[in-house]
A and B are shown apart, each in its own frame.
Chain A
Amino acid sequence: MVRNRQRSRNRIIVAAVLSLGLIAASCGKKNDSGTIATNATIGETATSAATTEETIAVDTSVGDTTPATNPATTTPAPKPVPGGEITVSGEAEVGNAWVPAAMQCDEYCHERARTFFEPIAQFGVDNKVHPYLAESITPNADATQWTIKVRPGISFTDGTPLNADAMIENLQRTGTYILIAAQVADLAKIDDPGGATNQDGSAKQVLKIEKGDDMTFTIFTGEGGDASKPLPWPGFDVVLTSQFGLMASPTWLKAVDTDPTKATQPVGTGPFIVQSYAPHDALVVTRNPSYWRKDKDGVQLPYLDKITFKVIEDAKTAEGALRSGDIDIFSESSGTIISDFEGDPEFPTLLQKEFGESNYFIIDLDKPGPYQDARVRCALSMAIDRQELIDLTQGGILQVANGLFSPGQEGYLDDNGFSPDQDIEGAKALIADYQKDHPGQIQVTYGHTADRINAQRAELIKGYWAAIGVDTTIEVIPQETFITNMLLGAPNFFIYDIRLHSGIKIDQNNFWWNSRSATKDGEGIALNFARIRDPIVDSNLAIARSDPDPAKRQAAAEAVNRQMAKECYQIPYSHTLWGTMHKTAIQGLGEATLPDGTVARDGTDFGGWFSTSSLWLDKG
């Protein structure tokens, strides 16, 4: 979260607010001088957190939020008060809940899942990976083997102890399941020592993991899964912060094997326990009374007694629900919605501006015709007036994107070789050039989920592309099938409006762009939705994964950025800004700490999610 680490910066740049406002005003953006009021606790670390009552101006350039008033008027931080319940809303239901290996998890899925599941490791605000359920995570000299020591004294809420066996069971299940396997494709695989076989009689492949003692085990890397080719993977611990690292009770996992309906009653080690779950309606979690963590003052976590998570698919409805008191807090990436809360003292907003996803139009490069031609792709990209798109559909407060690397991410470049400025004439020239080789009208199909803002954006896009002579058919895609269509390369997946690729390191996005995970349309599952098969991208992704020199990894990440921009594999338009809007009574947002005392960084992997273990209610 931005605010956790910006207080000191805020103090320094108070004087800069006016100039930022002037710069923003000169850009003519809608919300350039707007303010977002917050009263949330801001602190460099959890131990120095203090409550401030301050107004935060949103500048339209990327950077941190900036206080518009003197932040020196701080008051002592109130102590968290245990008790109370809140209602949270999010935009989509998870598919295939809640087994970590199988759940199709977006931001709101993580928001909920991380109330009852916890990861092996988690990012801190220092952008480093810190052990969470692990006590330590240690690589060997060349980072081809990673030894994990399990934190002692932790049990799942069904009483099953968390030990090496439990972690290995989870990692084996998730790491070999179809959904996550591509993410850990460079972990070594071996024949199942238990002799398990596949349907065709071949030996079942499992991750090469060696148990040391009851609380220790070692994971081995292997290029493309080949155990005979250990692959240096200096950033492997990042994977343990993701869905791959979420730990569920092995007892419960086995129960789900025999009765799939038990998947709706997940069991983890987390601060909350699932009380009830009704898909597309509500997930209710209650406080885990024997949770293993306490706060710095020795108060048992979590503070809240109960959280109800609702699904409200329409962002405007969620906004209305917060204002009418039906919900207490929700995260949203729609600039329009975030800007609606600007300057509203009743509903403070916490912003996540860095490491977020990029908003872009993904193209299925396997689809025949114009989609496979860089001239058409670049023309479609050049035709877009990104600032207008942002102003009209995203509240005017987002930053124009030139690629899929958001500010702060490894590989981000202010200039990656692609100009995001609208260039209709240049685009027309490219289209004309294409039509010399392929005469006739160019027709493309554009899909988006059922949301009124997405629909508005679709109409604008249709207009931009009509201006360069491209005919666009708009299709509304159900949220439930949106991701699946991309995974399978469905016949109706041509160009989709999506939001993806958050994270700090490029390695977190390896599987999205690596040709290894670009299974052809209709032949299986491809996490590389766009089906990018580019040797330059592949080789640089490999360097970014394996090279021990951080400078070379950085250079490789930048090379990937440049190559994708050059080929116009995607049509980027803005970088995501996540806002978490909440009632003033909600305290502790963005203040969760890791077991080692470092403040946790919310929103990594998936923008918008926030830790619930630190939330408490100010009943005053």
Chain B
Amino acid sequence: MRYFLQRLLQFAIVFFLVTFGVMVFMRIGMNKPGDPARTMLGGLVPDDKAAAVNKQYHLNDNLFSQYFFWLTKMFRGDFGISVQQNVTVANYMKGRVLVTFFLGFYSLLWALIIAVPVAVYQAYRRDSNFDRAGNLFSFLFVSLPALVLAPFIIQLFVIRLGWFPRISEKVMPWQDLGAHFKNFFLPVLVLTLPLAAIFSRLLRADIVQTLQSDFITLASAKGVPPSRVLWTHALRNSLFSLLSSVGVQLGAIVGGALVVEQYFTMKGMGALLLTSILSKDLFVVQSVTAIVVAVVSLANLLIDLLYAVIDPRIRHARALT
């Protein structure tokens, strides 16, 4: 419990630093009274309207007051309004959250589905042709970030082969499952391949090391079948690096989603964040950032808790502290 509270406190600190930092950075260059509202409104507003927006959102107060005002409203579910687009930020984000969620979820899922068996088999058949080929491909895809991979994928599968749409619609699974997968396939592929490469390299190295451990030798000597040794004993004890990496990569997935959404014209949170930063749509930027920080931080907290599930020694140690 204490550990959980510690992590929760860490989360709160990170959340404050990031969201407050974003607010401060977005205000740079808007020092004159009234400027934030005028900037958000696109400049083309009479003074009385700019003044009204300033007053409504306390934009002329000091930064801490502004932050507190925004935070309390956000916790009540009021993310504010995109005054440039005349929509509430909640409505602006609606529909986009799921796009980025599915992008991230599928990418992570498929990266693990690909990486785990490949890494296990590579480790089992260490220095075989399969292992060497696996290493080559994982090195290749680690070296190909979304920024580079996306144009190649588009050129091949969209322009040359014409198998997939050029712009990926945000079709949800409950609307049309087939169209959903067709629209999400390429963006997910772009995010999945580098992720799978990273995961498989990490996991392979860990399993290779684990397979040299005494307890593995003992298990084999006791007649435990090789598949059980591999999948139960070796894999379970090699998952820590992978789990840590998953946590770290969550942030990278958000960054990757931003790139992928641009390439595939997907209307997700990444695209929204980019558009909003460029157009200085303050409340949208703050809200999107807050959500991303919250999701990534909480996911990492979850992963930390998973360590204890995987390894009883950690659970026991935490219980003692």
Contact = CB atoms under 8 A, between A and B. Distances in A.
Interface stretch (B41-49, B60-68, B215-223, B286-294): B41-49
Nearest to A259: B86
B97 interface: no
Size bracket of the A interface: 35 or more
B48 A480 contact: no
Given A104-B44, A260-B86, A481-B280, A317 B167 contact: yes
Q: Which of B46, B85, B275, B278 has the most CB of A within 10 A?
A: B85
Interface stretch (B113-121, B158-166, B224-232): B158-166
Nearest to B277: A478
Contacts of A96: 41-42, 44, 84-86
B244 interface: no
A93 B85 CA distance: 9
Nearest to B44: A179
B92 interface: yes
A288 to B, nearest CB: 22
Given A95-B42, A177-B46, A264 B86 contact: yes
Given A326-B165, A481-B279, A264 B87 contact: yes
Interface of B: 41-48, 51, 81-88, 91-92, 95-96, 154, 158-159, 162, 164-167, 169, 265, 267, 271-272, 275, 278-280
Interface in A147-192: 177-179
Given A96-B44, A324-B158, A480 B166 contact: no
Nearest to A522: B32
Nearest to A486: B43
A400 B197 CA distance: 51
Nearest to A282: B267
Contacts of B44: 95-96, 102, 104, 178-179, 484, 487, 525
Nearest to B48: A199
Nearest to A280: B275
A222 B47 CA distance: 25
Contact of A261 (B87, B165, B169): B87
A263 B280 CA distance: 20
A97 B42 CA distance: 12
15 contacts: A98-B86, A102-B45, A178-B46, A199-B51, A278-B95, A279-B85, A279-B87, A310-B265, A320-B166, A321-B165, A321-B167, A323-B159, A324-B166, A326-B165, A488-B43
B8 to A, nearest CB: 35
Contact of B43 (A264, A320, A487): A487
A260 B37 CA distance: 14
A91 to B, nearest CB: 12
Nearest to B164: A324
Interface string A440-457: 000000000000000000
Nearest to A102: B44
B165 A480 contact: no
A322 B110 CA distance: 30
Interface in A468-501: 478-481, 484, 487-488
Contact of B81 (A261, A321, A326): A261
Nearest to B84: A95
B47 A199 contact: yes
A129 to B, nearest CB: 27
Given A280-B275, A479-B278, 12 more contacts: A97-B86, A102-B44, A260-B86, A280-B271, A281-B95, A317-B265, A320-B154, A321-B265, A324-B162, A325-B165, A480-B42, A481-B280
Contacts of B43: 484, 487-488, 525
Nearest to B263: A317
Contacts of B275: 280, 480
A312 interface: yes
Contacts of A488: 43
A104 B265 CA distance: 23
The 10 closest A-B pairs by CB, nearest first: A480-B279, A478-B278, A320-B166, A279-B85, A263-B86, A484-B43, A324-B166, A281-B267, A321-B166, A95-B42
Nearest to A317: B265
A266 to B, nearest CB: 10
Contacts of B46: 177-178
Contact of A317 (B91, B95, B166): B166
Nearest to A485: B43
B158 A320 contact: yes
A113 B202 CA distance: 54
B165 A324 contact: yes
A312 B265 contact: yes
Interface string A246-263: 000000000000001101
A135 B159 CA distance: 50
A93 B158 CA distance: 25
Contact of B279 (A312, A324, A478): A478
A326 B158 CA distance: 11
A315 B95 CA distance: 25
B276 to A, nearest CB: 9
A312 B167 contact: yes
Contacts of B278: 478-481
B92 A279 contact: yes
A501 to B, nearest CB: 20
A280 B270 CA distance: 12
Nearest to A277: B87
Nearest to A312: B265
Contacts of B272: 280
A314 B164 CA distance: 18
A97 B158 contact: no
B86 A310 contact: no
Nearest to A178: B46
Contacts of B167: 310, 312, 317, 320-321, 326-327
Interface string A299-328: 000000000001010100100110111110
A479 to B, nearest CB: 8
Contacts of B92: 278-279
Contacts of A317: 166-167, 265
A487 B39 CA distance: 12
B101 to A, nearest CB: 16
Contacts of A480: 42, 84, 275, 278-279
B82 A279 contact: yes
Contacts of A104: 42, 44
Nearest to A320: B166
Contacts of B87: 261, 264, 279
Contacts of B48: 198-199
A310 B83 CA distance: 21
B284 to A, nearest CB: 10
Contacts of B279: 478, 480-481
B165 to A, nearest CB: 5
A96 B86 CA distance: 7
Q: Which of A199, A279, A324 has the most CB of B within 10 A?
A: A279
Nearest to B264: A317
A280 B267 contact: yes
Contacts of A260: 81, 83, 86
Contacts of A282: 267
Contacts of A281: 95-96, 267
Contacts of B51: 199
Interface string A261-288: 1011000000000000011111000000
A96 B96 CA distance: 20
